[in-house]
Amino acid sequence: MARAYRVAGVFSNGSHGGGRRGGFVAAAVVAAVVLLGGCGAAGPDTGSDGTKSTGSAVGADGKNAGSAGASTPAATPSSATPSAETLPLAGKVVALDPGHNPTNYQHTKEINRLVDIGTNRKECDTTGTETNSGYPEASYTLDVSRRVRAILAARGAKVVLTQDGDRPYGPCVDERARIGNDAHADVALSIHADGAPAGAHGFHVIAPESLHSGGADTRKIAAPSLRLATTLRTHFKAATGEPFANYLGGGKGLMVRGDLGGLNLSTVPKVFIECGNMRNKQDAKSLTSAAWRQRAAQGIADGLTAFLEGSPAGPAEGKR
């Protein structure tokens, strides 16, 4: 509007002569009226209060989001990408114990020393067994433990390993239990493969006996550990197709023992799994297969997850 008045002023004050002056004034008035008429309502760029309008907002879906100046809601994270808090094992701690150590054989003096396992004294650790072709149990247990760790971490769990190929030997069985205890683990698992006679075949899970002797007191963890054992047994068999061991436990794939330091000294639910017999030709073929080890890791991870989520464990049957 200021420009319209200035134009009128120029034509009326800057012109000389009567007729021409009147014509210019008339023209200026017409121009002013036209310009003023356009201010009766806000134009496409200007609001009725004289402020600049942003026009109609467009939502993220390309649709009109409302009147001029309406704010567009901030984008929210996609539900397809869960946050750390929504992962199934968020806040859970899992202790994985890869049985033995790949270089234990170089430290026989250290691993042969006796340590207290609560009920008596036992060797710090052993070298473990191997297949007839020379594939070591310690290599198997570390490989599978790392695979399990990757799966559980993706589900939100904090995973603690007793050793990650980063120690010259051990740790000793008492320290293995202590690592899980100190981590306040919600669950702990020691991963092994057996060295039974060649005709023995299959896997089994070992749960702690309920005992209170010396430094061992498993009374609080015996029942949940047995539930863990049966849950793990179910999922491991489903993932690998490996049968229950045919040489112990009555063919049920489950044992309860009171002579293992890693179980006796645990204060958190814990079991051992013997994933197969390395001396059996059929089992050895599975244990040395990377694809089968991945299935084994999947079964173990699924069993631990089911236990932590409180899924039914199945029949709690076991035999010493």
Residue 130 bears catalytic tag: no
Tokens standing for residue 92: 């859970």
290-308 and 137-154 helices, crossing angle to 10°: 50
Instruction: Answer whether 103's CB lies under 8 Å from 168's CB.
Output: yes
| Residue type, position 20, single letter | R
Structure tokens at 220: 């609080």
Residue 144: C-alpha distances to residues 137, 150, 291 (Å): 11, 10, 11
Position 251, amino acid: G
Burial 165-198, CB ≥16 within 10 A → b, else e:
eeeebbbbbbbbbbbbeebebbbbbbbbbbbbee
Q: How far is Cα 86 from Cα 118, in angstroms, rounded to an integer? A: 40
Yes or no: say if 66 and 56 are a contact pair by the CB < 8 Å rule: yes
Q: Are 128 and 135 in contact (CB under 8 A)?
A: no
Whether 225 contacts 272, CB under 8 Å = no
Nearest to 240 by CA among 200, 291, 189: 291
The rounded Cα 166 to chain-centroid distance in angstroms is 23
Q: What is the DSSP letter of 85?
A: G
Which one of 123, 274, 309, 317 is the catalytic residue?
274
Which residues does residue 204 pair with via DSSP β-bridges, in sequence order?
274
Backbone dihedral angles phi then psi of residue 272, each to the nearest 5 degrees: -105, 150
Catalytic residue list: 274
